[in-house]
Each structure stands twice: as C-alpha cells, then as structure tokens.
Amino acid sequence: MNYYKKAIRLSMAKSALIYKVLVTLSFILGISINSLAQGRKEIDFNQGWLFKKGAKDYEKGVSFVLEEWEEVTVPHTFNSEDMQLGKDFYTGDGFYQKEFTVADSLKERRLFLRFEGVGSVADVYVNGRFLGEHKGSYSAFAFEITHSVNFGQKNTLLVKTNNEAREDVLPVNHFLFPIYGGIYRPVSLIITDMVNIKVTDHASPGVFIRQKDVSAKQATIRVKAKLENTEKTFRHVLLRTEVKNADGKSVKVIEEPLSISPQGVTLGEQELIIKQPHLWKGVEDPYLYTLTTSLMDGDRVLDAVTQPLGIRSVEIKTGKGVFLNGKPYPMHGVTRHQDRWGYGNALNRSQHLEDMMLIKEIGATTIRLAHYQQAEDMYAIADSLGFLIWAEIPFVNTYTLEEAANAKQQMTELVRQNFNHPSIYIWGIHNEVYSKTEDEYVAVLSRELNDIAKTNDPDRPTVAVSGYGEMWRPANLSTDVQGMNRYYGWYEGKIGDMKQWVQGLEEEYPEHIVMLAEYGADGNMDQGAEKLPESRNPVSGKFFPENYQTETHIQQWAIIEDHPYITASYLWNMFEFAVPMWNRGGVNARNLKGLITFDRKRKKDSFYWYKANWNPEPMIHLANSRDNKRTEANTIIQLFTNLSSVELTVNGQKVTRELKGVNAHHKKFEVSLQGGNNIIVAVGQDDAGNVISDKMEWTLD
C-alpha cells in the first residue's frame, strides 16, 4: 500500500481525535417520509466543512494528517491571498472533510453529490470508499453516493483537491491566470426517486431544450430528457413538460405516456408549439419563461427539472454582424475573469451579480467569459439581464500533447451543463494555441473539439482564437467563426495599426466571419503622464500610465465602430485580475488591462469612454483627472459624453477652441492653464433639460 492510501485511511481513523465538532445534516433527519416521497430535493451542502492543507510528496511523510483542521464554509479557496501577491504561492493538496447523517427513510431513494467547481483535480471519498476523480477546475461534476452511505448513521465525506499545474489537465500552467485550489463553488446533495431524470450526465440538468422556427408568430420547442430507472421492472410514467411565463402562468402543457427501462438510459422527447411568444430580446427585453419537465405517477411527481427558456434566434451574417430574432444586434463586448482581490475565485452570487451590474452600467451587450467555464450564477444572471455570452474551455496559451482527453471532457461538460441558457450564443474551442501544419496536434484536436461541440449542440456556432492577425494559419478555421486577439500599440506596432489590419482582412477574406476577441492595453490608475510615453515595455516595464490605456481605447473603438466587418469585439478586460507569474506596471502579480480595479472600487477613464459610447444614460466625464500635476500651460482637455452639446470652462472662462474628436462622444479642447490651481468644469443638458456636469482640478507648476 502506498503512502497516499495510508494517509487517507489514517485521516479517516484519526478524524474523531483531530477535531471535536462533528457536523451532521440534521435537516435530513427532520424531513418526513411523506415529504421525501415527492419529487427531487436539492439541499445546500456548503456549511460545516473542515479543511487543512496537505503535503506535496506523500513518499516523504504524512505528518500533515495529524495537523489540526479549521472550520470553513464553501465557497472556499486556499489561495485567496498568496496567488494575488506573486510567484510564491502554494500549489498542492487541500483536504476538505464533512460529516453528515442520512435518515433510514431515504433507503428507497437515490443520493448524489454535485460539485459546481473544485480546483483543479478532485478525489472524492465517502466513508473511505473512493467514488471517483474529476479533472478540471471550472466545470461541475456529480457522483452517486446511494450505495456508499450508511443509513441512520454518521457518514464522512473527504474531498482531496489539488491545484498543481498538470500536463494532462487544462489549463496546463499558471502563466496567464492562476489555478486556484479548493472547493470554490457550491456543493449540493441531490435526492431523487428510483425513477429519475439523469443527474450524472456530465452533471448536466438531464433536460435539453432546442428551439426551431422562432418568430413573433410562433416557436417550436423540442425537449429531450435523459431518464433512469433503478427498479427491477419497466416503470410506466407520464412525461410532462410545462412552460410558464414570467408571471408563473402556464402557457403550454404536453403529457405523454412513457415506459422507462430498468437498463441503461431512456430518452424522452417532446415537442411544443408556443403561439405568439414573448421573445428574449437581449438587453432590451430579456424575457424569460420557465420550462419544467416532470415524471408523473398519477398525481405524484417522481422527479422534475426546471430550466430557463428564453425564446430567441441568433444568426451571424458575414460582414453584417449578429442578428437577434432577425434584427441587427449591437455587439458591444467585454471580457471577464472570475477572481477578485481578497477572495481569489471563491465568489458568492452577490459578487457575481455586482460584476454583471457593472458590465450593464458600461453599456455592454455581450460578454466573453474567458478563458474557462464560469460560475452557473454568471450564465443565469446573463439570461436575466440579456447579455449574449461567449462561453469557452481553458485550452489556452500552450499545449503539452497530454491534454487531449481532458480538453474533450471539458468541452462536453461546458456544452451539456449550459445547453439551456438563452444567453449563450457561441462555444469557444481554444485561445492562442498553435500548430505548424494542419496535420499536427493542435489543429487536429481543434477539429475534434469542434465536432464535440457541434454533436452536442448542432444549433450554436463555434469559435477559436488566434493571437496573430493572419487568417490562414494551421490552427485557424476549424470553427464557424475566427477570433483574433490584436494588441496594437501594446505588444506590437502602433495604436492606429488596427485600421490597416482590418482593412486587409476585408479585402482578402470578405466572406469570412471575424471577431476581435481581445484588444487593449495595461493602465495603472496610480501612474500618470502628461504626454503619452514614446516607448513601452509591456512584458517587464514598470511604468504603465493610465492615459496610454485610455488613448488606446479611444482610437481603437473608433476603428471598430467604422468597420462592421468585425462581427463582434471584446475589450480586454472588464476587471483587473491576478497573474502570479507577472511583475509589470508597478503592481506585482496583476494584469492591469482591466477598466475597473481588482477590488471593483475604482473605474478608469476607459470605463467612461465606453459608457459614453454604449450607454444612453446622459453623462459627461472629464478624462485625466488623476493626472492633475501639470507642467505645460498650453494643453488639451478631453471629455467623454453622449450629450449633443457640452460647454467647457477653465477658471470660469468658456473654452471655444474645440478640436475634432474620433467620434461624437469624444470632445477635445485646447486650453491655457494659469499658474497654480485650475478649476475645469464641463456642463450640458439632457433631452429633459436636466443639467449634467463634471469637474476636476489641475495644478500648473
């Protein structure tokens, strides 16, 4: 027996001596037999966990087993601080333990544990019995525990987590973003009847909704349910699907008899016609129905699963853009990483919602959730707010030749787990991984991943991303859409070179669909420059003044706006995020390309630039207010606004020398400052006559 197995068994045997508080699920004991006989129960399993770090090398000792446990609540990560500070971060094992009691009354039921996200590899044990391993930090997984628990007694659940970079698990390194460790998303205990909708189909809902022939007159809704029967004989049930509107009123019900085999999986399929549907119209009107598929035995509900239903059609047209329900849809896009300062990636729903409301404030209509499957709350909130979502797997940055199986697993999980979200319009295959020929590993794997996405979901398009601006590269063109990351003015060339790039693609590849998957520049809010720096070092430089980032976005959004050939664009990034392997721009372990700081407390000038362009709410914003120590009297003041007319005054005097901006939202004024303090005020009125203003002070030395 190796040391690892000894460590696990010793942990089980010593647990009563190591800690004093035994956590039980008393709520199960309190549930009556009758109530448990009705349908599915999903119980919060996030409280009462115990945690301790492990050791990297079991062959050298297992002394960690005798260390004290600490009480924690899930979501939890053991990297909430160290990965945000630099290269000296912990990777290795983290152990989570929980004790619970299962009532005798549940012996005729099925029990499952569902983990929404564990970083990055999870081994799950119940009462010392190994249930299984899951590889990948970002997707959910579920194990049945019916036959591993002791009914009427206490049970011990142990989860061994590990966040070391591995060549066989995506992502394969910590270079572009950290792989946090721990049970960092919610856990639930699911209780079902012996006849049920499948729980362990890659942790999917087991119910899959497709839409056909969507219009304002009617829509065809097709439902497929994966059903299981663990009884000894066929079970004859009624398969019932009901659609309710946003007010909870039933608008359509279909019921059909179905026999569920005690062997394998039975597929139940139904089709509904919704007359005059209220369409899901993105941010304008994100109307949601609910769809519930139930297994009925007479009047008794054996099992039921409810899913969101946003009735809509999405089409991408070459050179014309994205069409939602047959109408052009503005693709004002941002990207988002899931971590934040002081929390790592162990975020709660209110934090996810805060991020989404900030994205709503800027006026975005679409989000690239990069570079991995994100929390289920994010997709649900996107459904309710109307964002179109680009969802992808973490096949990013590099490859090892050993990650193919895991990439295919994560691609399958991403699609099946999120299949029913109306907000998701495209599946992402990879980001910045390359081959030298079309026959090599990455190119072949890309085509295989595309096949998986298309087989599981024939209705949505797919996209892969290159870090080069060339269309014809070996790993390109394996998907329906070609994404390209372009950092002109930062990693290459000049800010304005984006124009030449897109014009070249327009001329040479007029029938290809291209999305600008990333663009932008770093900007440190605590660094300013009166003039834009003439040179930069984006890899090891320590001076990343905010106004360079601002100028990058001003110029490049104007180029994007003028070229509808770019089907959709996604600025990088909405929020600053941790990169433990970096030390750039005066802040260690940080990617400073975010428009909002890592703690979500400060918004950069670039945020207000996009808000002026995308959000119709009346606004004025004076740029460079933080760069308030000036050395030149004759200078230029910039402001961002969506008002038709704005007056600028300096020290009470109206400024009349206005220069041409890149578009109507960009105002530039030539001014002469006086020595000492200068009060700068911009004032305008909205259509209702309300006064809108902004103010700043510059000091001329």
Distance, in Å, from the CA atom of 593 to the CA atom of 571, rounded to the nearest integer, reads 9
Dist CA 478 CA 527 (whole Å): 42
* Residue in 432, 518, 551, 576 annotated catalytic: 432
d(CA 43, CA 66): 31
DSSP class of residue 468? S
Can you tell me the distance from the alpha carbon of 179 to that of 94, in angstroms, rounded to the nearest whole number? 13
Amino acid at residue number 444: V
| Cα–Cα distance, 311 to 427 (Å, whole number) | 19
One-character DSSP codes across 247-290 = TS-EEEEEEEEEEE-SSS-EEEEEEEEEES---B-GGG-B--EE
What's the maximum distance between 2 C-alpha atoms anywhere in the chain? 91
Closest CA to 600 of 339, 283, 334, 332: 339
Distance separating alpha carbons of residues 655 and 650, to the nearest angstrom: 7
In degrees and rounded to multiples of 5, residue 390 shows phi and psi of: -95, 115
Cross-strand bridge partners of residue 329:
322
Q: Is 546 among the catalytic positions?
A: no
List of residues 6+ apart from 25 with CB closer than 8 A: 43, 100, 101, 102, 189
Of the candidates 25, 247, 6, the one whose C-alpha atom is nearest the C-alpha of residue 155 is 25
Tokens matching residue 274: 């919704």
- Three-state secondary structure string covering 106-145: HCCCEEEEEECCEECEEEEEECCEEEEEEECCCCCEEEEC
Q: Which residue in this structure is represented by tokens 């085999």?
A: 261
Measured CA to CA, the distance from residue 189 to residue 396 in angstroms comes to: 33
CA torsion angle 446 447 449 450 (round to 10): 120
* Cβ atoms < 10 Å from Cβ of 9: 14
Nearest Cα residue to 346 out of 187, 120, 135, 185: 185
Tokens standing for 502? 């897109």
List Cα–Cα distances, 446 to 374, 396, 443, 468, 642, in angstroms.
Answer: 21, 12, 5, 17, 43
Which residues are catalytic, by number?
432
